[in-house]
Each structure stands twice: as C-alpha cells, then as structure tokens.
Amino acid sequence: MLDRLSIKVIRWPLSQSARVLNKAGVTANQTTLFGFALGCLAFPALAFEQYSLALALIILNRVCDGLDGALARIQGISDAGGFLDISLDFLFYSLIPFGFVIANPEQNAIAGAFLIFSFIGTGTSFLAFAVMAGKRGIENPIYKHKSLYYMSGLTEGTETIGCFVLLCLFPQHFSAIAFVFGTACWFTTFTRIYSGFHTLR
C-alpha cells in the first residue's frame, strides 16, 4: 500500500548512490548477493537477542535491495537479476520471524509460524499473478521499471519492513505484532487472489 509513496522518497538518493557504485564497477547482482548476506547475519543476531544489531542488518539489507534495482536500471534490467532478487527477498522475509522463534521458542513459536504462513500467502499470490501477467503481456502502470509485475496490496515491502522494525524495537511484543501483521497479510492474499482471478478471467 505504501510502496508507491516510499519509492518516490528514496528514488533520488538511491539513483545517486547507484551511479557512484556503477562507476566503481559494482554490479546489481553483486549488490543483491551482498545485501542477502547482510540479511542472513540478522538471523544469528536475533537468535542471540541482539535486536539492535539485527535491526541495523535488516535496514542495510533493504538499502541494498533498493540499490540493486537502481543499478539494474543503469546497467540493464535482466530476467536473471529479477529472479535472483525476488527469490532472495522472500527467503529473507521468512528468515526474520524464524530468528525470533529461535530466540524465544516458548513464547514466539506459534505467532512466528503464523507470520511465516501468512508470508507464504502473500508471496505465492504475488508470484503466481506475476507469472500469468508476464505470459499475457500485462504491464503494471505504477511499477514500470520492474522485471516482473508487482501486484499491490495492503501489506507490501514498506509495511513488512515497518513490521520488522517494530519487532526489533519491541521484541517483548513479538506475538501481538506478528498476529496483527499476519492477519493483514491474509487480507492482502485474499484480495490478490480475488482481483487476480477476475483480471485473468
């Protein structure tokens, strides 16, 4: 829901930073892999309840996720790069709640499982429609410079990162935050399935 607004805010600083990285010979795929590695380091930080460190790594991961797209627009958007980016993004999204479960399995296991379950819903509905949209040549008028169709919803990337920030700032309230956000994700999933089915029909 908020992605179209956040993109406008971060587009200029990301573009300027990408120009510098491009001149230094850094590629979009290298940035994707480096950002994913940083994101993976958030898992042990969460497991050992180092929430401030985890938050910093999550933010750095998301900065890299923005930079790889900006670099791709300079160097050329590719299907391989888009595939790598979205695959690692969804792995990262599921890794974060799993880290909270490992940190405190007695209190966080059920809420963490529900949140990961909800990510399966948003992820599959998102990717399934992207496949069909690509097959039919359907283009998104909002996200024109993406390698695949970005289907909007109540919970998009911006909201997900906001959820992760809240979880790191208030880990004692993990269950409540996870259940609320997971429920919002299921609203997104059902609306995507409904609108996607009727669009393709």
> Tens digit of pLDDT for each residue in 71-98?
999 999 898 999 999 999 999 999 999 9
Would you state the pLDDT for residue 103?
97
Q: SS3 of 13, please? A: helix
Its pTM stands at 0.87
Alpha helices in the chain (DSSP H): 3-23, 28-47, 51-75, 79-103, 105-136, 157-169, 174-200
Q: Which position has the higher pLDDT, 51 or 128?
A: 51
Would you state the pLDDT for residue 10?
80
How far is 137 from 149, CA to CA, in rounded Å?
Answer: 10
Would you state the pLDDT for residue 154?
80
Q: Which position has the higher pLDDT, 185 or 145?
A: 185
- Number of domains, the chain: 1
CATH of the domain at 171: 1.20.120.1760
Query: What average pLDDT does range 160-179 have in this prediction?
Result: 97
172 pLDDT tier (thresholds 50, 70, 90): very high
Would you state the pLDDT for residue 129?
87
9 pLDDT tier (thresholds 50, 70, 90): confident
Domain that residue 185 falls in: 3-200
Would you state the pLDDT for residue 135?
82
